[in-house]
Amino acid sequence: MLIRSPKASELTEADITDEAVYQQRRKFIKQLAGAAGGVSIAAALPNSAHAAGWFGSDDDDVAAPRQTLKFKPQARAENMVITAEKKAISYNNFYEFGTSKDDPVNNAQKFRTSPWQVTIDGEAEITGRFDYEDILKKVSLQERIYRLRCVEAWSMVIPWVGFPLGELLKQFKPTSKARYVAFETLVDPEQMPGQRNAWQGGGIDYPYVEGLRIDEAMHPLTLMAVGMYGKTLPPQNGAPMRLVVPWKYGFKSIKSIVRISFTSYQPPTTWNILAPHEYGFYANVNPKVSHPRWSQASERLLTSGGLFDQQRVPTQLFNGYAGEVAALYNNMDLSKDY
Amino acid sequence: MRILSTQPRLLALKSFTHLACLLTAVGAFYLGITDQLGGDPVKAIIHFYGKASLNLLLLTLCVTPLSRWRREPLWLRLRRLLGLYAFFFASLHILSFLWFDLQLAFALFISEVIQRPYITLGMAAYLVLLALTITSTKSMQRRLGKRWQQLHNWVYLGLPAIVVHYYWSVKAYIGEPLIYFAIVFILLWLRRDKFKRMWRQRLSSSMK
């Protein structure tokens, strides 16, 4: 574990510019620029947001700016190194918005997450379509700081805000036939360039689908996240709601969920369909089972810092959550059910 | 067109190549150490150097057809320099993997080279580039005689190997590797007469 003692030069919470002040100042600068230009360049451009963009990255382009959330915070160990927010929200796998890591942050900013509805169906007493707001009313938000271990052998430490998935699922009264839970991501080619064009979307057959065994879904560690770093999720991270299963590889954590189905059978999952020899249904983090193209025995922890500030840490079985979840897999051969 | 005489023009071309390649290598490295290469500067720098090497190698193979087409023999004298920079960037590519990704874990490096076919293939291609680099001097060319050309023909195997290495390394999006395959195909197709000659020579020499 990396132990950092803050230098006197390091900023504290008290030094952070108030967001309202920051926004106001930007608005002022932009107005000034507009006035100075007379018939400004901004007006001549088809999309005036471009001109505004010259003043740096611009939050005004975001259809739904991230809102501050109310939640029960998790106590933080003093030496806990949380990944810089900038990294966590600009380095994403979300092929619906493009396959390269910076495609999602560039292509998802106008993604509409309101209104948003989630269909609940399958082996449950209560099914139907529910408004996202109504789902949120029935749960209480809490913070969970998890290490997100990507199958590509890197990890980040992210403060999620959400609620235990089981709390939600129980409300729909799954029947005894419900042995698995299947999830689906939105299909909207108009908003998601990767779904319009197989070249941009990595040749995946959309919608992106994922699934958990019901005991995995009901496990108290399994989180339905609606926020991160104290605010609502940015679209590139799976707004408005996404799964976080901390002992599994990141691709199990399906984003922008529109459907939750209780099934009696093991549901198909996207990466397993695409490359079954590389990605199993379970996808439990396991240092002993290597990916065909790289070892999973260690991982690079992306926190902040450049090339000379890197850490490679040993990967732990179940991503360090073995104490909580190992019992779920007691009678399984994890090298076969990878 | 030819305002300058041959020597100054060659000097200008070479200076430009040196400047562009060195600035690119150093610039990317600077952005990397100052954490300006996105979420994962390590992957970014490895991929950047790898692709720079591949692009330069492709450029090296463009020199001959282009200089024939434009009747510009001067360009041929740039070919070795471009090839050496392809090797230079390939070295940076591997060094970045070993140093920044694997944190100098040599045992892991060796086991990865052996166990992962795409890395094995990439390494094989690197050894070809290494052999070509070592034998790139005029004196080596004289000393090897006819065998020099035979050795340097290995680039026609090394280049496709590099593209397969790239293709195998990507997870799902194969658009870019496919474009590279197409370029390699065209560059090799332009040399079809040469390959036919080589093939005939082999046949006739094996019959003797």
Report in angstroms the alpha-carbon separations of B156 from A56, A321, B78, B160, B162. 46, 50, 19, 7, 11
pLDDT at A51 (0 to 100): 38
A30-37: long-range contacts (C-beta < 8 A, 24 or more apart)? A30/A55
Compare A165 and B67 and report the one with higher pLDDT: A165
Mean pLDDT of chain A: 86
Q: What integer pLDDT is reported at residue A39 of this predicted model?
A: 36
Q: What is the mean pLDDT of residues A51-57?
A: 42
Average pLDDT of the residues in A171-183: 98
Average pLDDT, 10 consecutive residues per value, chain B (208 residues) = 71 95 97 92 96 97 92 88 98 97 93 94 98 95 93 96 93 82 96 91 76
Of the partner residues A203, A295, A306, the one whose CB lies closest to the CB of residue B41? A306
ipTM above 0.85, yes or no: no
Please give the average per-residue pLDDT across A302-323, as a whole number.
Answer: 93
Give residue A15's pLDDT band: very low, low, confident or very high (50, 70, 90). low
Instruction: Measure in Å the smallest separation between the Cα of B70 and chain A Cα atoms.
Output: 35
Q: Is A286 annotated as a binding residue?
A: no
The rounded distance, in Å, linking the Cα atoms of A119 and A102 is: 30
- CATH second-level architecture of A13-329? Alpha-Beta Complex (3.90)
Q: Is the pLDDT of residue A32 over 50?
A: no
B155 against A202, higher pLDDT: B155
Q: Which of A55-69, A234-248, B189-203 has the highest mean pLDDT?
A: A234-248
Domain coordinates in residue numbering, chain B:
2-207
A237 is in an annotated binding site: yes
What does the pLDDT read at residue A277?
92
Specify whether the CB–CB gap between B100 and B35 falls below 8 A: no
The residues pairing with A261 across neighbouring beta strands, listed in sequence order, are: A121, A182
Chain A, chain B: beta-carbon pairs less than 8 Å apart: 80
Contact A306 B105 (CB under 8 A): no
Nearest to B66 by CA among B79, B84, B54, B56: B79
Amino acid at B103: Q
